[in-house]
Amino acid sequence: MATERLVVIGGDAAGMSAASQARRLKGPDELEIVAFERSHFSSYSACGIPYWVGGDVPERDELIARTPAEHRERAIDLRMRTEVTELDTAGGRVRSRDLESGDETWTGYDKLVIATGARPVRPALPGMDAPGVHGVQTLDDGQALLDSLARTQGRRAVVVGAGYIGVEMAEAMLKRGYEVTVLNRGAQPMATLDPDMGRLVHEAMDGLGITTVTGAGVTKILTGQDGQVRAVATEDAEYPADVVVLGIGVEPETTLADAAGLPLGVYGGLLTDLAMRVRGHENIWAGGDCVEVLDLVSGRERHVPLGTHANKHGQVIGANVGGGYGTFPGVVGTAVSKVCELEIARTGLREKDAREVGLQYVTATIESTNSAGYYPGAARMTVKMLAERRTGRLLGVQIVGREGSAKRVDIAAVALTAGMTVEQMTALDLGYAPPFSPVWDPVLVAARKATRTVHGSAT
Amino acid sequence: MATERLVVIGGDAAGMSAASQARRLKGPDELEIVAFERSHFSSYSACGIPYWVGGDVPERDELIARTPAEHRERAIDLRMRTEVTELDTAGGRVRSRDLESGDETWTGYDKLVIATGARPVRPALPGMDAPGVHGVQTLDDGQALLDSLARTQGRRAVVVGAGYIGVEMAEAMLKRGYEVTVLNRGAQPMATLDPDMGRLVHEAMDGLGITTVTGAGVTKILTGQDGQVRAVATEDAEYPADVVVLGIGVEPETTLADAAGLPLGVYGGLLTDLAMRVRGHENIWAGGDCVEVLDLVSGRERHVPLGTHANKHGQVIGANVGGGYGTFPGVVGTAVSKVCELEIARTGLREKDAREVGLQYVTATIESTNSAGYYPGAARMTVKMLAERRTGRLLGVQIVGREGSAKRVDIAAVALTAGMTVEQMTALDLGYAPPFSPVWDPVLVAARKATRTVHGSAT
C-alpha cells in the first residue's frame, strides 16, 4: 500500500488527539503524519491556566499532556512554531511559515485535519494592547501574564468579563493576593446561567471579597506615562488597575478555512458531519474549538469551546482517518466551574435559549443540601430545572452550591441525552447515603417540583 | 363524601411518607389516617445511625425528620409503641397492642399501607443475645449500642459482616477510638461489588488500621463470667471483643403479611404492582424495606432495603391513596457508601448477577483520577464497567476511589435506566473542569474501553 500523508493544522487537544488515534490505527509505513503548531506548546490543558496562574498548579509543564518530543517518538512529525498561512484545497496542500526563520514551505496532503482552535474576543478599544493587559487563552498567554505579574508592583487586578474564564481568573488573582474587580457587561455574572442563578454567583463573589460591577461595558483601557495600563474605563467610571485580565470569551479561529471557502456556520465555526468531516469535503476533517457542534436539545448548531469536546472530536477524527469508525453526535451544553468553594454547573437550555428555538417551558427552582441535612458540613445547593410545557421533557438544569454540586449536573446531562421527561427523572435510582445526599437527591426534588408544575396539579 | 379510614402499619420512611402525601391530597374530613409504630421513634434516618454512633452527628434527634407530634399536628393519628399483631384482610381490620399497657384493640380500615420494614439477620448462634452484642437497624438499637459503649471499659470492637452497614460501623467504631476487627464470611468485603473491586476496599481498610478477616464465618459468641460478650469465635480462631456490632444485613419484616396470606417473593418481601399496590389486593399498598422491587436491568425482583426507595414508595403510595397518580418503575441497584475517605459505589449488575440471569458480558476496568491529574489533591479512582456481549448495552458499573467517586455512579444509573450502550456513553456530554474531572471523565474512559472490548477491535 502506498503511504498516505495526513496533515494536521493545530497541535493542541483536537489536532494531536486525532494524530495520536490515527497513528494507533495505522503505522508510519501506511500513514505519514505531519502536524503544524504555531505556539511553543503542544497538547496542553488551556482549561488549567487559571489554576496555574492562581498557584494551585505550581509548574507550567504540568499542564502539558504530551510534549512535542513525545509526539515525535510516536512517528508524528510535529513542527512547532510553524504557522499554516494558506490552505489550497484544490491542490491538496498547505503553505506554512517557520516563525523563527521566516521560511515558507508547501506541504501536500491526502487527508487534512483542521484544528485551529479559537481566538480570544478582543474588542478594538483604545489601550487594549497596552502592557499589562492579558488574555489567558494559550500557555504563551499565561506565561506572559505571570511574567507581567512578577514585574508589577501594585495589587489591583481588573478582570473584564464574568463568564467561566472571568470567574476562574478572579479566583486566581484573589489567590495571588490581588484586590480583584470584575467588570461585567450583563446584569449578572455567568451569563451561561439564567440571571436568577447568576445572582447566586454574584452574592458568593461578594462574600469572597471580589468586587463585581454589572452593567459595566468597557470603553477603553487607560495607560500611564510609562505606557503601562493604569485603569479600565466604562461609560460610568474608571477602575484603577495594575493588571487587566481579559475573560470575554473566544470565537472560532477559522481565518484559513474561510479563505479556502470551507463552510462556516453562524458563529463562524466550521460545519462538519457526524464523523467530523467538513461538509462537502471528502478528505478534510475538523474538530475542537474551531467547529460548531449540534446542540441535541435545541437542534441548532452552537459554538462550545471546551477541552473535553476537542478531545472527543480528535478521537473520532483519528478513528475515521485511521480506517476505524466514530461519530460525535453532539452536545447537550454541559459546563461546570467554580469560584473558590462555590460550584457552578449548567446543562441544556436556559430560559432564553428555549424561547429562541420556540420551546415553551415551565421552571422549578428548589433549595436543598449537598448531604443529609444532619451530616456535618451540609451546605446549600440550588437547582433550577426547565421542562417543556405539556410533554414534561427535560430541557435544562442549572446548579449553584457547595461541594458536590457541580458534577450532579451529569445526571441531567445523561437524562437530556436520553430524552427523559422530568416525571421519569423522579424515579431515577440515584446514589444515596448521608455523606453524599439527602434521602431525596436535590435533582430528584427539582424533578418532582417540575413534574407538579408541568401537570399543574399535585401528583 | 363519607370519611374513609387509611391505616398505616409502620411509622418510618415509607409509612409516614405515604401518610403525609395522602394528607396533602385529602383533608381530615375526607380521609382519616391512623398509623401504628412499635418503636419510640417515627420518620428517622436509619442510614444515619453509623454517623451518630461515630460522633459525626452529635444528637440522636437530628436523625428524626419529623416527630410524632409533628405528624399529629397534620391530622395523622400516629400511635407510638403500638405494635400491629394481626392483619385480618377479610374483615378489613388490624389488631394492635399498646406495648406500654398491653391493651389490644381492633381498628378497621378502608385502605391499608404495610410499611413494616426489615429486621436484621441474626443467625441463631450461641451467645447472640449476650449483653454487648448489638444490631444497628433502628434508633432504639443505636441508643442501646451507645449506652453499652458508655458502660464498656475495653476498646476492642468486632464488627460481624463487611457490607455497607459493616464498613460504615467499622469507620464509626474507629472514630470512637476502638481497635476494630471486621469478620467477613466472603473472600472480600463489600460483596455488593465484584471481588476484584472489593479487594480495593479491603486494601483501603488495611490502610486505615481496620483488621479485616475474610473467609471468617462466625460460629459463636463467647461470654465472660459476668455474661457479657468477651470474644467472637470462627471455625479457625477467637477474636477478643468488648463490644460486637452486627452488620450482616436485613430481611423483609413480613411476618404479619405472610400470616394474612399476602403474596411474598423469593426474598420474603411483599410483591406489589407498579402503583405499589399489593398484588391481588385492591385496597392494600406496601412499600419500603418490606417489599421486593423490580430490578430493571435483570428483569427480576430483588430486595433492596434503602431509605431512598422507601421514601419514593411512600410518595407513590400516598399519591395513589390520595386520589392522585404515581408509579415506582423499579431500581437499577444503585448504592453508595464510604469508609473514611474511600468512596464506594455500584449500580446495575455484578458479574455473578449477569451470569445468574443468563446475560453474557464483557468487563472493562480502568484507573483514572477524580480531577485533572495536575490539579492539587488528584487521587485515584477505579471504574469497572460491564456491558452485554455483542449489543454493548450497559449492564453495571462499580467505582472505588477518593472524593468525587461515589456520586459519579449516578451517570451510569441514568444510562442504565435509559438502556444506553457503552458506545453511546462515550459521547456523553459530562461536566468538565480541572477541579472536577480529567478531560476524559473516568466513566467515559471506562465506556471507551468497554466499547473496544465489545467490538473486539480498535474504534
What is the chain B residue with the closest CA to A428? Answer: B414
> What pLDDT shows up at residue A61?
94
What is the chain B residue with the closest CA to A326? Answer: B459
Q: Is the Cα torsion angle A59, A62, A66, A70 positive or negative in sign?
A: positive
Task: Give contacts of A407 with chain B, Cβ < 8 Å.
Answer: 404, 407-408, 431, 436-437
Euclidean distance between the first and final Cα of chain A, in Å?
66
Q: How many CB atoms lie within 10 A of CB A90?
A: 7
Residue B259 touches partner A, C-beta closer than 8 Å: no
CA-to-CA distance for A353 and A302, rounded, in angstroms?
Answer: 11
> CA of B328 to nearest chain A CA: how many angstroms apart?
6
**Fold for the domain defined by A335-450:** FAD/NAD(P)-binding domain (3.50.50)
What is the chain A residue with the closest CA to B316? Answer: A459
CB contact (8 A) between residue A407 and residue B332: no
CB contact (8 A) between residue B407 and residue A431: yes
- Every domain range in chain B assigned CATH 3.50.50.60: 4-119+251-321, 122-248, 335-453
Mean pLDDT of chain A: 96
Residue B274 touches partner A, C-beta closer than 8 Å: no
CB contact (8 A) between residue A439 and residue B409: no
CB contact (8 A) between residue B436 and residue A407: yes
> What pLDDT shows up at residue B1?
57
Per-residue confidence at A457, pLDDT binned at 50, 70, 90? low
Mutate to test the interface with A, among B66, B311, B414 (most CBs of A within 10 A): B414
Candidates A24, A336, A414; nearest CB to B415: A414
Report whether pLDDT(A150) > 80.
yes
Interval A305-311 mean pLDDT: 96
> CA of B348 to nearest chain A CA: how many angstroms apart?
10
CB contact (8 A) between residue B407 and residue A437: yes
> CA of B355 to nearest chain A CA: how many angstroms apart?
23
CATH node for B4-119+251-321: 3.50.50.60
> What pLDDT shows up at residue B123?
84
- Which residues are within 8 A (CB) of B340 and not within 5 positions of it... i.e. 6 or more apart? B171, B174, B204, B208
Euclidean distance between the first and final Cα of chain B, in Å?
66
Residue B49 touches partner A, C-beta closer than 8 Å: no
Q: Is the Cα torsion angle A254, A259, A263, A267 positive or negative in sign?
A: positive
CATH superfamily of A122-248: FAD/NAD(P)-binding domain (3.50.50.60)
Residues A158 and A270: beta-carbon distance below 8 Å? no
> CA of A194 to nearest chain B CA: how many angstroms apart?
18
Residue B383 touches partner A, C-beta closer than 8 Å: no
> CA of A205 to nearest chain B CA: how many angstroms apart?
18
Q: Which of B141, B171, B117 is nearest to B246 (CA)?
A: B141
Distance of CA A25 to the CA centre of its chain: 29
Residue B266 touches partner A, C-beta closer than 8 Å: no
Mutate to test the interface with A, among B31, B308, B403, B429 (most CBs of A within 10 A): B429
Task: Give contacts of A417 with chain B, Cβ < 8 Å.
Answer: 418, 420, 424, 427-429
Task: Give contacts of A47 with chain B, Cβ < 8 Å.
Answer: 372, 432-434, 439
pLDDT tens digits along B278-327: 999 999 999 999 999 999 999 999 999 999 999 999 999 999 999 999 99
> What pLDDT shows up at residue B457?
58
Residue B387 touches partner A, C-beta closer than 8 Å: no
Choosing among 3.50.50.60, 3.40.50.300, 3.10.520.10, 3.90.1150.10, the CATH entry for B335-453 is: 3.50.50.60
Residue A417 touches partner B, C-beta closer than 8 Å: yes
Residue A455 touches partner B, C-beta closer than 8 Å: no
> What pLDDT shows up at residue B5?
98
Q: If you count them, how many residues does chain A have? A: 459
Residue A290 touches partner B, C-beta closer than 8 Å: no
CB contact (8 A) between residue B439 and residue A13: yes
List beta partners, residue B266: none
What is the chain B residue with the closest CA to A23? Answer: B458
> What pLDDT shows up at residue A1?
57
> What pLDDT shows up at residue A121?
85
Q: Which of B36, B32, B11 is nearest to B75 (CA)?
A: B32
Q: Is the Cα torsion angle B216, B220, B225, B228 positive or negative in sign?
A: positive
SS3 of chain B: the string is: CCCEEEEEECCCHHHHHHHHHHHHHCCCCCEEEEEEECCCCCCECHHHHHHHHCCCCCCHHHHECCCHHHHHHCCCEEEECEEEEEEECCCCEEEEEECCCCCEEEEECCEEEECCCEEECCCCCCCCCCCCEECCCCHHHHHHHHHHHHHCCCCEEEEECCCHHHHHHHHHHHHCCCEEEEECCCCCCCCCCCHHHHHHHHHHHHHCCCEEECCCCEEEEEECCCCCEEEEEECCCEEECCEEEECCCEEECCHHHHHCCCCECCCCCECECCCCEECCCCCEEECHHHECEEECCCCCEECCCCHHHHHHHHHHHHHHHCCCCCCCCCECCCEEEEECCEEEEEEECCHHHHHHCCCCEEEEEEEEECCCCCCCCCCEEEEEEEEECCCCEEEEEEEEECCCCHHHHHHHHHHHHCCCEHHHHCCCCCCCCCCCCCCCCHHHHHHHHHHHHHHCCCC
Residues A14 and A41: beta-carbon distance below 8 Å? no
Cell numbers of A285, please? 476533517
Residues B12 and B117: beta-carbon distance below 8 Å? yes
pTM of the model as a whole: 0.96
What is the chain B residue with the closest CA to A348? Answer: B429
pLDDT tens digits along A102-124: 999 999 999 999 999 999 888 88
CB contact (8 A) between residue B427 and residue A311: no
Candidates A51, A375, A436; nearest CB to B434: A51
Cell numbers of A236, please? 460610568
CB contact (8 A) between residue A458 and residue B319: yes
> What pLDDT shows up at residue A444?
98
Per-residue confidence at A174, pLDDT binned at 50, 70, 90? very high
Report whether pLDDT(B458) > 60.
no
Report whether pLDDT(B459) > 90.
no
Task: Give contacts of A427 with chain B, Cβ < 8 Å.
Answer: 312, 327-329, 417
CA-to-CA distance for B152 and B43, rounded, in angstroms?
Answer: 30
CA-to-CA distance for B169 and B183, rounded, in angstroms?
Answer: 12
Q: Given the DSSP bridges, would you call strands A31-37 and A77-80 parallel, antiparallel or unpaired?
A: parallel
CA-to-CA distance for B449 and B459, rounded, in angstroms?
Answer: 10
Per-residue confidence at B249, pLDDT binned at 50, 70, 90? confident
Mean pLDDT of chain B: 96
Interval A139-156 mean pLDDT: 94
Distance of CA A337 to the CA centre of its chain: 10
Candidates B56, B312, B336; nearest CB to A376: B56
> CA of A318 to nearest chain B CA: how many angstroms apart?
9
> What pLDDT shows up at residue B122?
82
Residue A338 touches partner B, C-beta closer than 8 Å: yes
Task: Give contacts of A24 with chain B, Cβ < 8 Å.
Answer: 458
Candidates A307, A343, A429; nearest CB to B413: A429
Report whether pLDDT(A347) > 80.
yes
Q: How many CB atoms lie within 10 A of CB B117?
A: 25
**Fold for the domain defined by A4-118+251-321:** FAD/NAD(P)-binding domain (3.50.50)
Task: Give contacts of A308 with chain B, Cβ < 8 Å.
Answer: 429-430, 432, 439-441
Lowest average pLDDT, out of A131-135, B36-40, B453-457, goes to B453-457
Residue A458 touches partner B, C-beta closer than 8 Å: yes
Give the ipTM: 0.96
Residue B398 touches partner A, C-beta closer than 8 Å: no
CB contact (8 A) between residue A415 and residue B414: yes
> What pLDDT shows up at residue B248?
86
SS3 of chain A: the string is: CCCEEEEEECCCHHHHHHHHHHHHHCCCCCEEEEEEECCCCCCECHHHHHHHHCCCCCCHHHHECCCHHHHHHCCCEEEECEEEEEEECCCCEEEEEECCCCCEEEEECCEEEECCCEEECCCCCCCCCCCCEECCCCHHHHHHHHHHHHHCCCCEEEEECCCHHHHHHHHHHHHCCCEEEEECCCCCCCCCCCHHHHHHHHHHHHHHCCEEECCCCEEEEEECCCCCEEEEEECCCEEECCEEEECCCEEECCHHHHHCCCCECCCCCECECCCCEECCCCCEEECHHHECEEECCCCCEECCCCHHHHHHHHHHHHHHHCCCCCCCCCECCCEEEEECCEEEEEEECCHHHHHHCCCCEEEEEEEEECCCCCCCCCCEEEEEEEEECCCCEEEEEEEEECCCCHHHHHHHHHHHHCCCEHHHHCCCCCCCCCCCCCCCCHHHHHHHHHHHHHHCCCC
Mutate to test the interface with B, among A295, A405, A414, A437 (most CBs of B within 10 A): A414
Between chain A and chain B, the number of residue pairs with CB atoms below 8 A apart is: 221
What's chain B's Rg over C-alpha atoms?
A: 23
Q: Is the Cα torsion angle A156, A161, A165, A166 positive or negative in sign?
A: positive
Cell numbers of A252, please? 472560532
pLDDT tens digits along B360-394: 999 999 999 999 999 999 999 999 999 999 999 99
- Every domain range in chain A assigned CATH 3.50.50.60: 4-118+251-321, 122-248, 335-450
Lowest average pLDDT, out of A20-24, A415-419, A453-457, goes to A453-457
- Contacts by B163-166 with C-beta closer than 8 Å and gap 24+? B163/B189, B163/B190, B163/B191, B163/B192, B163/B247, B163/B248, B163/B249, B164/A433, B164/B190, B164/B192, B164/B247, B164/B335, B164/B337, B165/B50, B165/B136, B165/B247, B165/B248, B165/B249, B166/B245, B166/B247, B166/B248
> What pLDDT shows up at residue A385?
98
- Residues of A (52-111) whose Cβ lies below 8 Å from B: 56-57, 62-63
> CA of A116 to nearest chain B CA: how many angstroms apart?
19
Which class for B100: exposed (0-12), middle (13-18), buried (19 or more C-beta within 10 A)? exposed
Q: How many CB atoms lie within 10 A of CB B251?
A: 17
CB contact (8 A) between residue A374 and residue B335: no
CB contact (8 A) between residue A307 and residue B338: no
Task: Give contacts of A448 with chain B, Cβ < 8 Å.
Answer: 315
> What pLDDT shows up at residue B327?
97
Residues B123 and B161: beta-carbon distance below 8 Å? no
List beta partners, residue A386: A363, A396
- Residues of B (148-167) whose Cβ lies below 8 Å from A: 164
> What pLDDT shows up at residue B347?
98
CB contact (8 A) between residue B431 and residue A327: no
| Residues of B with catalytic function | 47
